[in-house]
C-alpha cells in the first residue's frame, strides 16, 4: 500500500497561476527540467500548502490564506528564515529553497521548500493502515523527544537571537491572544471574558528558560516515516515559531490531546486517530517531556488552560472567515463547535486543574 501523503486537485478559489509560477521557477531555479504540475494538500486551515513538481523535482509552496488575517500571522519571510536557521541542526526541519515578495507571481509573498516524503497521519488512519497500541505509544513518545530536541537547540548559536523577545513572553501571549479573540469574536461565540481574566490573573513568575518554540506542535504537522511509522522525520508549519517559554510550547501541544475519559463532545475534537489518541494520556506525555529537563515545572494548570484558550482563539479566527463569507471552505463552518467545547474544557481546568 502507498502510504505517502498525497496532494489533490486545488480547492476552488485557491488556484495558482501555473504559467506565472513556472516562469518564476525557471528564473530562480534554472536547473529545473521537465513539465510543471501544481496540486494542493488537503489538510490545514491556515497557510495554504501546494505540491509543485517540475519533472522529478518535488517542492512545497507555502502562501498565506485567503481572507482576514491576524496582524502578525502568516509572515512568509519569517517562516522561511527559521527554516533556513534550523535545517542544518534539526534533521526534521525541511530544507528551504527560495522566498519571494513579488506579488505579481501569485498575489502575495510565498516560499518554496524541499518535500520530505512520508506519511501525514490526520484524524483517521488511511484505508488499510493501522498502528498497534505499542506502535502508537512509540509514535507519541518520538513526538515528545523531537519536541524536546527542538527546545534543546542553542538559538543564539544558529543565528536566531533576534527571532523573538523571550523576556515577558508569557504575559505578551496572554494579552495578545486575548485581543485576537475579541477581534475575531462573532455574535454566536462565547465571550470568554471570565477565562481571559483567570489566565491574566494566573500568569506565573517569569523564568529564565527561553528556547525556540514551534507553537503548533501536533501530529498532523508531522511527517512520519512510511516504512517505520513510529518515527517522526519532518516537522511542518513553522509560521508561529518564536523564542519563548518551552512550557508554553509543550502545554500548547498537550492541549490538542484528547484522553479516553474526556466527555464525548471532547472526543469530537480529536486531531489523531483514536488508536493513537488514547494510547497515552496527557499526564504521561508531560512526564515523558519532563524527563528531558531539570528546570522547575511550575504553574501547569495555567499553561494548560492557556493552551486550551489559544486553541479556541485559532478556531474562532478560522470561523470568523467563514461567518463573514471570506471563504467558502465548509470545514471552517464547524469551528464554532470547537470554540464552545474548548470553553467548557478551560472552565473545568480553572476549577479542577490539569488532568
* Distance in angstroms (rounded) separating the CA atoms of residues 133 and 280: 9
Mean pLDDT across 190-216: 95
Specify the DSSP element, H or E, that contains 4. Answer: none
124: pLDDT strictly greater than 80: yes
Band (193; pLDDT cuts 50, 70, 90)? very high
Angle ∠(93,164,237) on CA atoms, nearest 5 = 30
Tell how far CA 233 is from the center of its chain: 16
Identify the pLDDT of residue 4. Answer: 73
Residues 6 or more apart in contact with residue 300 via CB below 8 angstroms: 247, 251, 286, 353, 354
In which order are the strands placed within the sheet that holds 110-114?
A: 36-40, 48-54, 57-63, 110-114, 96-100
What would the grid cell of residue 52 be? 509543485
What pLDDT shows up at residue 45? 56
* Total-model pTM: 0.90
Average pLDDT over residues 253-281: 95
Annotate 192-221 with b (16+ C-beta within 10 A) or e (fewer). Answer: beebbebbeeebeeeeeebbbbbbbbbbbb
- pLDDT confidence bin for 70, thresholds 50/70/90: very low
What pLDDT was estimated at residue 71?
A: 43
Identify the weakest region by mean pLDDT among 27-41, 57-71, 191-205, 238-252: 57-71
pLDDT the model gives residue 65: 85
121: left (phi over 0), alpha (psi -120 to 50) or beta: beta
Instruction: Assess contact for 189 and 122: CB atoms under 8 A.
Output: no
Quick one: residue 128, left, alpha or beta (phi over 0 = left, psi -120 to 50 = alpha)? Answer: left
Q: Which residues on adjacent β-strands are paired with residue 60? A: 51, 113
CA 36 distance to own-chain centroid: 28
Q: Is 72 left (phi over 0), alpha (psi -120 to 50) or beta?
A: alpha
Helix/strand/coil for 48: strand
- What domains appear along the chain, each with residue ranges and CATH number? 18-114 (3.30.200.20), 133-352 (3.90.1200.10)
pLDDT at 293 over 60: yes
Mean pLDDT of the 317-342 span = 90
Q: Residue 295: what pLDDT?
A: 79
pLDDT for 17-28, tens place per residue?
Answer: 999 999 999 999
Q: How much is the pLDDT for 72? A: 46
Amino acid at each position: 500500500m502507498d502510504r505517502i501523503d498525497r496532494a489533490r486537485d486545488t480547492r476552488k478559489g485557491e488556484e495558482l497561476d501555473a504559467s506565472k509560477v513556472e516562469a518564476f521557477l525557471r528564473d530562480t531555479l534554472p536547473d529545473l527540467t521537465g513539465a510543471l504540475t501544481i496540486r494542493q494538500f488537503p489538510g490545514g486551515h491556515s497557510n495554504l500548502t501546494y505540491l509543485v513538481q517540475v519533472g522529478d523535482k518535488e517542492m512545497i509552496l507555502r502562501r498565506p490564506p485567503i481572507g482576514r488575517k491576524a496582524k502578525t500571522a502568516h509572515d512568509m519571510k519569517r517562516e522561511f528564515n527559521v527554516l533556513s536557521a534550523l535545517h542544518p541542526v534539526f534533521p526534521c526541519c525541511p530544507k528551504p529553497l527560495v522566498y519571494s515578495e513579488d506579488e505579481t507571481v501569485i498575489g502575495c509573498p510565498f516560499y518554496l521548500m524541499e518535500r520530505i516524503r512520508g506519511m501525514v497521519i490526520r484524524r483517521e488512519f488511511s484505508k488499510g493502515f493501522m498502528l498497534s497500541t505499542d506502535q502508537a505509544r512509540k509514535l507519541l513518545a518520538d513526538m515528545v523527544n523531537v519536541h524536546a530536541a527542538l527546545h534543546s537547540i542553542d538559538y543564539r548559536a544558529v543565528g536566531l537571537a533576534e527571532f523573538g523577545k523571550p523576556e515577558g513572553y508569557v504575559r505578551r501571549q496572554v494579552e495578545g491572544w486575548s485581543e485576537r479573540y475579541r477581534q475575531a469574536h462573532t455574535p454566536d461565540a462565547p465571550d470568554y471574558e471570565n477565562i481571559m481574566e483567570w489566565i491574566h490573573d494566573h500568569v506565573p513568575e517569569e523564568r529564565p528558560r527561553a528556547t525556540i518554540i514551534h507553537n503548533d506542535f501536533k501530529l498532523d504537522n508531522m511527517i512520519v516515516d512510511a516504512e517505520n511509522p513510529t518515527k517522526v522525520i519532518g516537522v511542518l508549519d513553522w509560521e508561529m515559531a518564536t523564542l519563548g517559554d518551552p512550557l508554553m510550547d509543550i502545554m500548547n501541544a498537550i492541549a490538542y490531546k484528547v484522553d479516553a475519559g474526556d466527555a464525548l463532545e471532547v472526543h469530537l475534537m480529536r486531531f489523531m486517530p483514536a488508536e493513537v489518541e488514547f494510547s497515552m494520556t496527557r499526564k504521561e506525555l508531560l512526564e515523558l517531556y519532563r524527563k528531558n529537563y531539570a528546570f522547575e515545572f511550575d504553574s501547569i494548570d495555567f499553561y494548560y488552560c492557556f493552551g486550551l484558550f489559544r486553541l479556541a482563539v485559532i478556531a474562532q479566527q478560522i470561523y470568523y472567515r467563514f461567518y463573514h463569507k471570506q471563504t467558502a471552505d465548509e470545514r471552517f463552518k464547524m469551528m464554532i463547535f470547537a470554540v464552545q467545547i474548548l470553553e467548557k474544557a478551560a472552565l473545568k481546568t480553572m476549577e479542577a486543574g490539569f488532568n
